[in-house]
């Protein structure tokens, strides 16, 4: 008979212990981008809610930005970096096929723990939170550092009327650790690869490598079709996440959808019939759409501006290129 495998600690609960953010120094108001797309501040705001976005310096990397947000999250959690035993970075703008951003970030923090990236676009942070929750619950790790960070303007065509105004740079981090009571609800997640063309990079790196006359690869998006999918399909997923957690919209305190577009956010709120008492994150107005960075950025802002929301119940929902999505209810740190 084979020897018995020794298991980690028995199943336990997990929760978010702290969040942190990084917003680059340089602010770009709509007035600085309108000429290239023959548009206006008014049009951009009515179309997306965006008033400005942050832009990272050319010499600043996703790893540099992640380090700042991670130290911020560690401070809120009251933990030393040495207490982290897994690092997950959700990003699509760490511009190396390999190595991943997470091992580099871990090294910056003086760590040699497990470290890997998640590629799930705008749902990346919610995916990573789900994985971290499972890791802590199963005893695979005690404290997981989750980062959602993007330098999206490096892959944005600033002359494309359909997308130039929507994206920005930045992101945030969260620490997931053990808890005596449930702090992260079941994740409702999925994908629909048949709609992959709705948000995609063009041209591919392979085509660009073979033909340098092609334009630098940037994001392309079918805005109206994405809007329809996000509002009508993702609102159902939000409801499923509430149902899976056993709470009603009336019992929810905060809604933190991916900051894709204010029109999507407002329409989702309407579809979900969220009561006025639910605080809805609208960080997109000042930060634009930062893909995997948007939920932690919005979370950090709302806890800074509304300290009374610490410890309350938030529904967070990521959705984007893939198409992929993930939603879960969390207790805010």
Which residues sit at the interface with another protein, rule CB under 8 A?
A: 46-47, 222-225, 227-228, 231-232, 261, 263, 267
Nearer to another protein, 166 or 331 (CB): 166
Q: Are 125 and 318 in contact (CB under 8 A)?
A: yes
For residue 233, the minimal CB distance to another protein (Å) is 11
For residue 161, the minimal CB distance to another protein (Å) is 11
Structure tokens at 87: 């690092």
Give the angle subtended at the CA of 289 by the CAs of 286 and 293, to the nearest 5°.
Answer: 100
Nearer to another protein, 208 or 227 (CB): 227
For residue 139, the minimal CB distance to another protein (Å) is 45
Which residue is associated with the tokens 């997931």? Answer: 176
For residue 150, the minimal CB distance to another protein (Å) is 23
Which class for 10: exposed (0-12), middle (13-18), buried (19 or more C-beta within 10 A)?
exposed
Provide the 8-state DSSP code for 80.
-
Annotated catalytic residue, options 94, 122, 143, 238: 122
Query: DSSP of 182-218, one letter per residue?
Result: --B-PPEEEE-GGGGGGEEEES-HHHHHH-TTSPPPE
Orientation of helix 41-48 relative to helix 262-272, angle to 10°: 30
Which residue is associated with the tokens 């709609």? Answer: 195
Nearer to another protein, 96 or 232 (CB): 232
User: Is 113 known to be catalytic?
Assistant: no
Which of 267, 276, 271, 282 is CA-nearest to residue 242? Answer: 271
Provide the 8-state DSSP code for 16.
E
Distance CA 96, CA 101 (A): 8
User: Is 238 known to be catalytic?
Assistant: no
For residue 286, the minimal CB distance to another protein (Å) is 21
Nearer to another protein, 12 or 51 (CB): 51
Distance CA 85, CA 151 (A): 26
Distance CA 127, CA 90 (A): 8
Distance CA 300, CA 185 (A): 20
For residue 235, the minimal CB distance to another protein (Å) is 11
Residues in the chain: 333
User: Is 310 known to be catalytic?
Assistant: no
Annotated catalytic residue, options 30, 94, 143, 258: 258
Nearer to another protein, 45 or 179 (CB): 45
Nearer to another protein, 20 or 223 (CB): 223
Distance CA 91, CA 148 (A): 6
Annotated catalytic residue, options 30, 133, 261, 289: 289
Which residues have a catalytic role annotated? 122, 258, 289
């Amino acid at each position: 008979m084979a020897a018995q495998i020794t298991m980690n600690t028995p199943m336990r609960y997990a929760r978010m212990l702290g969040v942190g953010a990084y917003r680059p120094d340089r602010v770009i108001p709509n007035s600085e981008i309108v000429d290239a797309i023959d548009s206006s501040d008014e049009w951009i705001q009515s179309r997306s809610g965006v008033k400005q976005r942050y832009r990272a310096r050319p010499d600043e990397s996703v790893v540099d930005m992640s380090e700042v947000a991670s130290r911020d999250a560690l401070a809120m959690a009251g933990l030393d970096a040495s207490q982290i035993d897994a690092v997950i970075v959700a990003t699509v703008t760490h511009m190396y096929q390999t190595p991943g951003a997470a091992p580099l970030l871990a090294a910056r923090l003086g760590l040699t723990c497990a470290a890997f990236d998640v590629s799930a676009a705008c749902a990346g942070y919610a995916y990573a939170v789900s994985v971290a929750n499972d890791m802590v619950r199963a005893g695979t790790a005690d404290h997981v550092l989750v980062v959602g960070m993007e330098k999206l303007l490096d892959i944005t065509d600033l002359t494309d009327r359909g997308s130039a105004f929507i994206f920005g740079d930045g992101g945030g981090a969260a620490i997931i650790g053990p808890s005596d009571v449930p702090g992260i609800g079941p994740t409702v997640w999925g994908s629909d690869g048949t709609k992959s063309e709705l948000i995609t990079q063009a041209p591919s790196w392979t085509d660009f490598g073979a033909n340098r006359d092609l334009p630098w690869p940037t994001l392309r998006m079918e805005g109206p079709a994405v809007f329809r999918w996000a509002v009508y399909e993702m609102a159902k997923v939000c409801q499923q996440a509430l149902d899976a957690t056993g709470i009603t919209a009336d019992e929810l305190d905060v809604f933190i959808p991916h900051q894709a577009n204010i029109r999507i956010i407002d329409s989702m709120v309407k579809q979900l019939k969220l009561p006025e008492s639910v605080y809805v994150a609208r960080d997109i107005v000042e930060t634009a759409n930062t893909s995997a960075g948007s939920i932690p950025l919005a979370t950090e802002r709302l806890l800074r501006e509304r300290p009374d929301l610490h410890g309350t119940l938030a529904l967070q929902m990521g959705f984007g290129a893939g198409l992929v999505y993930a939603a879960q209810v969390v207790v805010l740190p």
